[in-house]
Structure 1
Amino acid sequence: MVTETNDLLDAVRMRASRWGCGVLTGLVVGLMLCGCDLPDRHDIAMFRKPAVWEVEPPRDPTNDVNVQPASLVPENSNATAPRADWQFWYLHHVDPDGVIGGGVMQSQRTDSGQIKLELSERTLEKFGGSDGASPDASWQFNAIACLHSNEQVFWHSDDGQLSRIECRVRRGPLQTSKYIEISGDEVRFDVDHLTSQSKKRVIHHGALGGPLAVYQSLLGNPLRPREVRESKVLLPIQETLATLQIRGRSDALAKRMTEQGLVLDSLHEAVAMVSIDEVRRRERYYWYDDDGVVQATNITGESRFTYRCDEDQYRERVQGLLQDIYPISIEVPGKPIPPGQIRQLALNIEFKPQREVSSEASEAPPISKASQLIAAPRQYVQDIDETHQRVITANRPVSAKKLAGRFDVYNTRSFAADSAVTQLVDFRSAGVRKVLNVATSMTGMSDQEKAIELNRTVHSLLSFDPLSVGLRSASAVAGANIADSTEHAILLIAMLRAKGVPARMCLGMRYLPRKVQPDVASPETNRFVYHAWVIAKAEDDWISLDATTGAETAADCIALAIDDLSNIDTKTFVNRYLSILKSMSMSVSAAVVEKAD
C-alpha cells in the first residue's frame, strides 16, 4: 500500500505510435471474434497497460473538476466534506511469492476537531532466487529478505487542511524519522538522519494534500469518467512537493480480495499521476467500489498489487508473515543445523564469477580480497581458489596445530582509531560516563576482565529489540531502555574505549532457529539474521563479545565486515551490508552441536 507518493522512481512514459495502436486494436478485435476472453488489467505479462492518451476520447473541458486541495472534494459533489472516521486493511501481493506485507490506514476526528490520519505498513523486500542468478543461471546468491516499514501520522485542521506530519521509515536495521510542519506558505522539514540532523524549508502557495490524498478524494466521491482532480501534495520521504492529478476512467474488470480469495469484479477505475518535475513521475491505477473505497491498486510497470482485505485476513496473512521478524534475514542451504548449542560451524562460500573478458585477455581478473570474507576472532578462513572459500567458526579458539597453516587467523594489531572518540562513540559524554558508574570497580582488572565485565553491564542495562532505531550515538543509547544489536555494540565499544580497551564492531549474521509450528513443514534452509557485536583487544589477543547476551559470541555468528566506526554513513550502511551478501553464495557444510539436556 505504499502510495504513489511514498516510493517515487524515475520514469518517463513514451507515446505509442498510431501503427502500434492499430495493431493492438486488431489483436483485441481478433480475440473477440474468436470467442476468447479479453485480458483484464492484471494480465500484465501479456499486455502492458495502455497510456491514458492511447484510450481516452477527446476531453470535454466542461467535465473537468479542479479539486480544492484543502478538502480534495469537488465543488459540484453531493458530499459536503470527506469522511473523517474510517479504517481499512490492505495486503501486498506479488506473484509467485504471494503476500509480502501489508498495512493499515485509519482516520478519525479528535476531540479538538482535528482529523488524524495514520498509515502503518510493513513489507518484505526479497532478493535472491531467480533475481540473484547470474546470466548463465549457474550461480546465485542466497535468498535475502529486507524489512521495510512506514509509520506516518498526518494531522489536518477541521476543514481538511494538512498541518503537520510525523514520519518514521525503516529499511533493514536503520530507522529514520521526520517531523514536518506546514505554516502559511511555508513547509518546514526537521529530519533525523541518525548520525546527523538537518532542517530545510520549502515555500508553497495554497493548501496541500498528503500522500494518501487519492484515498481521501475517492472516499464517498467516486470520479466520473474523464473527470480530473488536481492537487499539490507533500511527499514526506522525498522531502519535496509534487503535483497530483487523478483522472476518472471507464469501469474495468479487476481483482479484489474476498473471503474466498482473489476474484474478478467490475470496479470503477482511476489513474493517478504524481509528478515532482518533468522526469520524476509515477503513475498508479486504482480500482474502487461505488462508495469510493479503494479495493486494489498497482503502480504501472510493477508486479506488486495491493488489495483491500478484512481485519481477520490481515491478521492471518500479514501479521502471521511478519511474526518473529528481523530487519534482514538470509536463507542458507546445505546441511540442516540440528537443535542445540553450536560448537563449530563450517560454511562453503562461492563468490560471484567474473564477467567474461575479451579474447585478447589471457585470464579473468581475480576477485579482490576486499570482496571476500575475512578472518575474525574464532572465525577462520581458508582460500580454496579465487572464487571459493571455506569458513569455520568455533565457540573456543582453535589451536594453530589443528589449523596447520591452512586457515587465516585474526591477529591484527590495534590502531589509534580503535581507541578514538567519534560521532557515534562519544565516550566522553555525560550519558556514557553515567552508565560507566554502574559498572563494578575495575581497579586492578586486566583488559580482558574489564571487557567481560562491561559486556555484562551493557546487557543488564538494555533490553534487546531487533527493530530499534539502529545507529545512534553511545550517549543516546545510554539513555534508552531498548536497543538492537548495533546499538548494544556501539555502547559497549564506547565503554571499552573509555576504559582504555581498543574495540571494533563486527557486522555479520547470526543463526536463528525458526519457531516450530505444528502442521507446518520445516524449510529446507537454515535461517540467519542481521547481527552486530564487538571485538576488543585484551592484552595480546582479540576477544569477541555479544552485549545482547552478555557473553562471548558463540559459533553461530558469521562476521562479514569489521569497522572501527570512524566514518559510518547512514545512507550507504544498508546497501553496503546487502552488497556483501549479494556477492557470495553460502551453504552449510558441517555443524557440531551440543544437544540440550
Structure 2
Amino acid sequence: MNRRLLQIFSGSSSARAVVRSFLSLPSFCGVLLLLAGFSGCERQPPELDLAAPGQGVVSGAADPQTDHQAASLVGWERWEVHSVDGQKIGYSHVDVQAGMDGGWVCRAEDQMVLQRGGSKMTHHVLQQTTLDRDGRLLELSSTLGNGAAETVTTASPQGGQLLLQIRRSGQTTQRQIHWEKGNQGPLAVPFSLRMKPLKPGERRHMQALLPVSYQLGRYELVAEGLEPVSLLDGSSAPLLKVRCRLTIDPGTEIKTDYWVNEAGEIVKSWTPALRLTSYQTDEATATAEISMDKDFLLAAAVPLTGQLADPLHVSEVHFDVRANGVSDQNSMFAIPAAAGQRVSSLSDGQALRVSVSAGWDGEATLPDVSSADIEPNSLIDFQDSRCEAFLQQAFQKYRAEPFVAKDTADGVQKMARLVQQHIVHKDYSRGFSTAAQVAADRTGDCTEHAVLLAAMLRSQGIPARVVAGLTYVQTVDGPAMLYHMWNIAYVDQGWIALDATLGASAPASRIALVTTDLSSGNEYECLQPILSVMGQIEIEILEASE
C-alpha cells in the first residue's frame, strides 16, 4: 500500500479496502490514452482566445487535397514521448503507407506505463486505419491490451452509420453511431495540420472519431502566432501556437495547446489539467526504458477543503464544487444528479452544490430501468461458466446465513459483502477485468468489485449499474477526493448505492460523475464525464451528518 496514504477511518479493514481500491477504474491511464492517443490527440489548455467569427476560417481535413499534398503523408513516420510532471510515462508511434486509390493505411502504436500503488500498469494499443485520398475513414481495427484484458475493436462506415464490433473474452458487442461523410478517423488533428498547415489567425473545424472510447468529438483549432518554445533537448525554436477545443457532446469540453512547425508537424503539446507534456522525438528516445520513480495514485487527486471525522459512516454530506484556475471559466463543468445525489447551481454561476445521502433513494432522477440493467454483456458476463461457479458458491453462503430476501436493501448489501470476501488479492496492474475473470482469479480493485457485484445482482434479476466518481480519502497531504467505482441496485422501487470494496452500502462521502449499464462493452465511455472535471475542479465540504 502506498506510504503516502494514511490508514484512516479507525484503521478498519473496510477502510483499508477502499483506500487500496480508489482510482482503480481505468480513469487516469485511460484518460492519458485519450489525451495522448496516437500522436496528436492531446488536449486541455488554459483559456482559448478565438479568432473573430468568419475571419481566417479554413475547412477541416475533409477538404479534397491535391495529389502533392496527399502524397506528402505516404512514408510519414512520427514518434512522440509523453511525460507527467517530468516523469516519462510512454510513447506514441505513427507510420503511414500508401493505400488503394490514392488513400493511406495508417498504423499507430501507443504505450503507457504507470506505477499505481506499487504495481506496474501497462496500456498498449495497436491501431490500423484505412483512409481514402481525402482522409475519410474507410475502416478501423484496434487491439487494446490493458493488464490481463485484451479488447479488439473494428469499425466501418455503412449507410450513414459507423458500425462497431467490440470483442472481449470471447464475446462480441455491436453498436453503431451516426456517421457523416466528412467525419475523420482518430488521427484527424495531426493529419489535418500536416496536410494543410495553419497560418496565424486561421481557424479549422472537424469532427472525428476519438481513440479508445470510439465516440465522436468536434475539434476547433485556432492558430495564434509564433513564439519561442523550449524543446526536449533543451534548445528553443520559434513555433506556431495552435489552441484546440474538443467538444464531446454538450457539457464536455477539453482543450490543449500545440506548437507546430512550418511543415505542420506537432512538435510539442501541453495538457495543464493532467500536467501532461508530449514531444516529437526519435525512436530511441521514445522507446527508452521507463524508470518508475513516481506513483500516480495521487496524481489525479481533486483538492478538498474540509474534513470528515468518520467518512465510512457519514449519512449525508454537502459539497461545493468550483472551477479551479486551470479550467476555462466560460465553460461550466457538469456533475449529474445520481442515486442519493442532488445537484444545484449556486448564485454566482461558478459553482455547484452537491448534496449526497447514503441509503435507499426512491426519487433519483435516473433513466428508467431497462433490460440493459438486467442482461449480461461482455463485461458483466454472469452466464459465463466461471461466473456461474462463483455464484453457486456465493449463494450457498447466502442461504447458510439468516434469511434475507435478495431483492431488498439488506439482501443486496449482503451480496456486496460476499463479493468483498471473494476478491482476496488487490492488484493495480490490471485495468478493467470482466466479471468472469474476477470470479475465477479473485483478483482486482474497485472496478473488479463493481463488475462482479453487478453480475451477482443481475443473475438474480435485480437491476444493477456501475458508478464512477470521487471518494473521500485522507492522505499525508490532507484530505482529497480520488477516483473510485461502486454500484447502484434497484430494489423496492428505488436505487441504493453499494460499495463492494466495503462490503456494504456506499457512504455519503462520494460524488458520482457517471452512471452506466456498461452495455456498450467499452468501459472507456465512462471517461467522458470524468474528462469534463479532471484537473478542473476543487471541492469544499460544507456540512456532514453521521
Larger Rg: 1
TM-score by length of 1: 0.45
TM-score by length of 2: 0.48
